[in-house]
Amino acid sequence: MLKARQDGGKLVIAPEGSITSANAPEVETRVLELLENHPCQSLEIDCDRLAYSSSAGLRIILRLKKKVDDTVLTNVHPELYDILDMTGFTEMMSVQKACRVISVKDCEVIGQGSNGRIYRIDPDTIVKVYLDPDALPEIRRERELARMAFVAGVPTAIPYDVVRIEGGGYGSVFEMLNADSFDSLIRSGQKKRG
């Protein structure tokens, strides 16, 4: 089964269940009908409800990529992502892994800023939960800035996972650093002068 919706110049197709050699011709016919009835500049294949895809399903994706160059796969579960990575799909197109879901229900709040709240998940792990429920572009921007700072030699924490928060929203997961905060460094500097 396929669900589809138009989002401006983008067509979002969400396959459900499995794509096997038995149903691949039917799936491809339906997808091509959707493309014909909904011309688009970009195509998103939302794999959140796609449990399995055989090589026949992968061939459909290749043919779609040839028809719509700006094709992206989103919410790809780890098992399917591994297959896509092994077969080179992750080099041909944007393939975004599905985010694991975590709860911060009983976690300690250890900080808050203008765009998020920081929770301690366990002694070694923290998560920054973004106040904006659609924060994925902001998360990507912050990860890239942190990566660039790290490469430039600036000590910084780099998030190692993006997660969905139970109840809504997104977060970035970090290893807890055993370091002083900027606030504590400023305060200790003021004490030394005074």
- In terms of domains, do 123 and 62 share one? no
Last residue of a domain, one of 45, 69, 98: 98
Q: How confident is the model at residue 39 (pLDDT cuts 50, 70, 90)?
A: confident
- Could you give the number of structural domains in the chain? 2
Q: Tell me which residue range forms the domain holding 60.
A: 2-98
The mean pLDDT of the chain is: 88
Last residue of a domain, one of 66, 98, 130: 98
- Residue 190 is predicted with a pLDDT of 61
Last residue of a domain, one of 52, 79, 98: 98
Output the domain CATH number for residue 131: 3.30.200.20
pLDDT at 152 over 70: yes
When mean pLDDT is compared across 98-112, 149-163, 174-188, the lowest value belongs to 174-188
- In terms of domains, do 94 and 172 share one? no
Position 53 in a domain: yes
pLDDT at 177 over 80: no
- In terms of domains, do 19 and 92 share one? yes
For residue 61, what are its two tokens? 């994706």
Q: How confident is the model at residue 153 (pLDDT cuts 50, 70, 90)?
A: confident
pLDDT at 75 over 60: yes
Could you tell me which of 96, 84, 107, 90 has the C-alpha nearest to residue 139? 96
pLDDT at 187 over 80: no
- In terms of domains, do 27 and 75 share one? yes
Q: What is the pLDDT of residues 94-132, one digit of tens each?
A: 999 888 889 999 999 999 999 899 999 988 899 999 998
Position 81 in a domain: yes
